[in-house]
């Protein structure tokens, strides 16, 4: 129950989604994602977009075969790509009341009617409502639902049946999608790690550092953060955590990031432009050496 919304938040925030289409039962998970993003932004600057739940009011929660909310947990679902005969059997098993043919029936609370309404046009839905009032037999109503559902699902089922016979093709599509996602997520993750002051990790497959040379993981690093006064700050620390350079406060995190970028690109020469917005905590020689290491990485 805890990990599911965390994993969901990671999927949303990693790509800075603005709107997330969900059902009403998922709104609290979107709110958790917003809370996580807001907390991070408050501490380390504006990095995450705060997502919003996108809910279609005309799309209701579908009832299951037993009238409860359709859920795998209740074992009352209609598989989207079920074979035609299996689909017929499932629909004929939908729970209804005991009213006989010829007796008027209520559309309110009827799982069968709600399922039909979700797939039918307004005219078709109105026609079934009249049939309910006229006392349509449950078997006939289920037959109408079956034909309506099968009409919608059959083309998709045919494509599914074709694709399922080509697992290699599906694997290629999934791997290509993963590459696209990774191309967005990896640089963003690096920026987030940089924002909180975490040094780079050596990824699997990366070349090991040459013998006798300092590992990048042991090099200086900038840390950007937000203090209780609401201002954004940054500092440069060495591998032991000793502060080499400390900034003053900035009202906007982008200003702090711009100062960091200048130091990374120009080294000690950037101090002339930055003026009193930063203060040295060590000698110029030590700071020059640290900035030179950072410039070598860029």
* Tens-digit pLDDT profile for residues 134-186: 999 999 999 999 999 999 999 999 999 999 999 999 999 999 999 999 999 99
- pLDDT above 90 for 252: no
Q: Which distant-in-sequence residues (6+ apart) come within 8 Å of 234 by Cβ?
A: 222, 223, 224, 225, 247, 256, 259, 260
What are the sequence ranges of the domains in the chain?
A: 1-56, 72-163, 217-297
Give residue 215's pLDDT: 47
| Span 209-236, pLDDT tens digits | 554 444 444 678 888 888 888 888 999 9
pLDDT band at 4 (very low <50, low <70, confident <90, very high): confident
Check residue 16 and give left, alpha or beta (phi > 0: left; psi -120 to 50: alpha). Answer: left
| Span 256-297, pLDDT tens digits | 888 988 888 888 888 888 888 999 888 888 888 888 887 776
Report field, pTM of the whole predicted structure over 0.85? no
Q: Mean pLDDT, to the nearest integer, of 2-24?
A: 91
- pLDDT above 70 for 54: yes
223 closest CA partner among 201, 238, 208: 238
266 vs 59: which has the higher pLDDT: 266
- pLDDT above 80 for 2: no
The answer to whether the beta carbons of residues 57 and 90 sit under 8 Å apart is: no
- Give the integer Cα–Cα distance in Å for 162 and 167: 10
197 closest CA partner among 144, 159, 253, 235: 235
CA distances from 195 to 96, 142, 188, 260, 289 (A): 58, 58, 11, 11, 22
Long-range contacts at 90-94 (CB < 8 A, ≥ 24 apart): 90/65, 91/142, 91/145, 91/146, 91/149, 92/139, 92/142, 92/146, 93/65, 94/65, 94/142, 94/145
Give residue 212's pLDDT: 45
Do the domains 72-163 and 217-297 sit in the same CATH topology, yes or no? no
Give residue 213's pLDDT: 46
CATH number for the domain whose boundaries are 72-163: 1.10.240.10
181 closest CA partner among 15, 47, 21: 15
Give residue 298's pLDDT: 56
Overall residue count recorded for the chain in this entry: 298
Out of 3.40.462.40, 2.30.29.80, 3.40.640.10, 3.40.50.720, the CATH code matching 217-297 is 2.30.29.80
- Tokens, residue 67: 């009238």
Computed over every residue of the chain, the mean pLDDT equals 87
The answer to whether the beta carbons of residues 247 and 220 sit under 8 Å apart is: no
Looking at 102-106, 143-147, 243-247, 281-285, which range is the least confident one? 281-285
């Amino acid at each position: 129950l805890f990990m599911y919304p965390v994993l969901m938040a990671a999927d949303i925030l990693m790509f800075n989604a603005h709107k997330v289409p969900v059902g009403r039962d998922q709104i609290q998970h979107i709110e958790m994602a917003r809370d996580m993003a807001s907390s991070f932004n408050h501490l380390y600057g504006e990095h995450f977009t705060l997502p919003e739940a996108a809910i279609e009011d005309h799309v209701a929660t579908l009832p299951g075969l037993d009238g409860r909310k359709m859920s795998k947990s209740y074992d009352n679902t209609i598989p989207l790509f079920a074979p035609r005969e299996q689909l017929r059997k499932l629909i004929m098993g939908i729970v209804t009341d005991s009213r006989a043919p010829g007796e008027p029936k209520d559309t309110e609370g009827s799982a069968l009617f709600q399922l039909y309404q979700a797939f039918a046009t307004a005219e078709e839905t109105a026609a079934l409502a009249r049939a309910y009032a006229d006392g349509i037999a449950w078997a006939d109503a289920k037959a109408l639902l079956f034909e309506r559902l099968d009409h919608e699902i059959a083309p998709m089922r045919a494509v599914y049946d074709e694709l399922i016979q080509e697992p290699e093709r599906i694997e290629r599509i999934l791997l290509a999608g993963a590459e696209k996602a990774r191309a967005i997520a990896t640089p963003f993750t690096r920026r987030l790690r940089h924002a909180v002051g975490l040094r780079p990790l050596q990824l699997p497959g990366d070349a090991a550092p040459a013998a006798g040379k300092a590992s990048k993981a042991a090099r200086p690093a900038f840390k950007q953060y937000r203090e209780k006064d609401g201002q954004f700050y940054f500092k440069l620390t060495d591998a032991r955590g000793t502060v080499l350079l400390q900034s003053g406060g900035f009202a906007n995190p982008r200003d702090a990031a711009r100062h960091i970028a200048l130091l990374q690109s120009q080294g000690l020469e950037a101090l002339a432009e930055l003026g009193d917005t930063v203060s040295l905590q060590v000698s110029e020689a030590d700071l020059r050496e640290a900035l030179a290491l950072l410039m070598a990485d860029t």
